[in-house]
Amino acid sequence: MSKDLTIATIVGARPQFIKAAPFSRLVAEREGVREILIHTGQHYDSNMSDVFFDELAIPKPDIQLEVRNDGSGDITGRMLVELDRLLPTLEADCVLVYGDTDSTLAGALAAAKRHIPVVHVEAGLRSFNRAMPEEINRVLTDHLATLLFCPTGTAVTNLANEGITRGVIKSGDLMYDATIFARDRARERSSILDTLGLTPGEFRLATVHRAENTKGKPELERVADYLRQKAEEMPLVLPLHPRTRTVADRLGVSFGAVRLIDPLGYLDMHRLLAAAHEVLTDSGGLQKEAYFHRVPCITLRSESEWVETIDAGWNRLWTSPETSRERTEITDYGDGAAAAEILDALIGRMVTTAAV
């Protein structure tokens, strides 16, 4: 390369910080590649943003846009305006986005409109539920992307079914890379079990944040009732997302005996996750992280993007009956080297394109 390959990476929410970590650490070690990390500000709580950069050993963002998610419906538009102004000044060779948040879609739209190649990491996931904002974000981003890095073979097939075959690469799962990094680090540094007085294997861990579960009192009450029942059987800890707490307080929804705590840092969350008897969540990422720690999971939704975890017996939908299903290993997520796979392929494609 005659000059450094410059990657503008856009993040804004907890799952993206986690996925960015192994990739950003690798870029920092690689000659001839430069990353400009842009934080949209979508998650602004320090426990859900700043702490992740510290614990995941990656540099703080180069640019902070501070577009706060205040609950209004115009956040994607506000981020798009800011990114449209910013991207032409960076002279980036590509824009890299992760996952399926509003930051993902805003970054992809801003780059595409400026004719900057879009790289989508965690492409091809589908819940086939268009009522989910995340599903709209991931579908539109995939159709804007030049390079699409898929964590599984199912994701590759989903894209092919939509006519997307060019630039599609099966890379393995970056969150597996991140979990390997966090596993031993959490054992050494986290004291959350002692702080909360929890015994490994004798508590459940839950998270709730999806719009489908928090959009109104009937939806949130249904989830809260389910968690209250589980808490009667065994202690249940719920790190409460700021938006979920706000909605619950406004609607008067009680979680009963569920132990509510503030959002946790990445290492504390992994320590709890590894020690839990079971995980109950509406998070896509946590379903996989539970499997990486070999902890059974119940997904608080009517569908899952991570069908592999269900097929292998480690996960089930809360709407499905409990069955004793044999648990098997999942090989589709790779061997923990997804970051290297993505970076090598990205360099090869970008250099080849620039040479044409």
pLDDT in tens, 144-169: 999 999 999 999 999 999 999 999 99
pLDDT tens for each residue of 50-107: 666 778 888 889 999 988 776 667 899 999 999 999 999 999 999 999 999 999 999 9
- pLDDT of 205: 98
Measured between alpha carbons, how far is 238 from 196 in angstroms, rounded to an integer? 12
Of 56-60, 83-87, 199-203, 257-261, which gets the smallest average pLDDT? 56-60
Extract the tokens encoding 94.
């590509």
**Is the predicted pLDDT of residue 48 greater than 60, yes or no?**
no
Q: Distances from the Cα of 171 to the Cαs of 40, 336, 339, in angstroms?
A: 26, 10, 8
Phi/psi of residue 127, nearest 5 degrees: -95, -15
Residue environment code for 196-234, b if the CB has 16+ CB neighbours within 10 A, otherwise e: eebeeeebbbbbbbbebbbeeeebbeebbebbeebbeee
**Same fold yes or no, 5-173+335-355 and 190-317:** yes
Measured between alpha carbons, how far is 247 from 224 in angstroms, rounded to an integer? 12
Domain ranges in the chain? 5-173+335-355, 190-317
Query: 190-317, what's its fold?
Result: Rossmann fold (3.40.50)
* Residue 209 annotated among the catalytic residues of the structure: yes
Query: 5-173+335-355, what's its fold?
Result: Rossmann fold (3.40.50)
Identify any residues that bridge with 91 across adjacent strands, giving them in sequence order: none
Q: Check 43, 115, 143, 209 and give the catalytic one.
A: 209
